[in-house]
Amino acid sequence: MPHAAASVNRGFSMPGPHATGAAIKLRGVSPGGITLTKEADMAVERTLSIIKPDATRRNLTGKINAKFEEAGLRIIAQKRIQMTPAQAGTFYAVHKERPFYGELCEFMARAPVVVQVLEGENAIAKNREVMGATNPADAAPGTVRAEFAESVGENSVHGSDAPETAAIEISYFFSGLELVG
């Protein structure tokens, strides 16, 4: 039975295969996460998910996570934190020149958030599908944003948009030792 080992973030070693016994090939390594492929070349990915202050304030964490889990995503790391405006500013630095940047940083530091890592086949695309469009008026019925978002700015969830972004975002909040799949 072939095994793959990957060095993941700060020297943590994750041997595979785990419970399934399926052959797993290493496709890419990045800080905070790896992309693995199964025999049928279905990408097992990791992505960052944030349940934002508008949702944590209304105790929606469980309902939102149920949607992720029903879609086949596993939560492999999770913590509730209170970001400072500076931390939110660093995390959202990519939007620094956008007109909504200051309001976004203030919003994200207003109340606790739940940061978590989701894992599954095509996790990035699946997470974005479950979240729905940024504007809740455009979000498909049954998506997190269609059901729970209060506005475009207070839209309940954040998710990584690409494997490279996911690796950076995951490593911002989690060490490799905290990723337990």
Residue 8 phi, psi (nearest 5): -120, 115
Q: Which residues pair with 6 in a beta bridge?
A: 14
- Residue 181 carries which DSSP code? -
Residue 123's SS3 state is helix
Widest CA span in the chain: 54
The structure tokens listed for 127 are: 């997470």
Helix (H, G, I), strand (E, B) or coil at 27: strand
Tokens of 24: 């797993």
- Which tokens in the block code for residue 123? 């996790």
State the catalytic residue, choosing from 3, 18, 95, 158: 158
Any catalytic annotation for residue 95?
no
Residues with catalytic function: 158
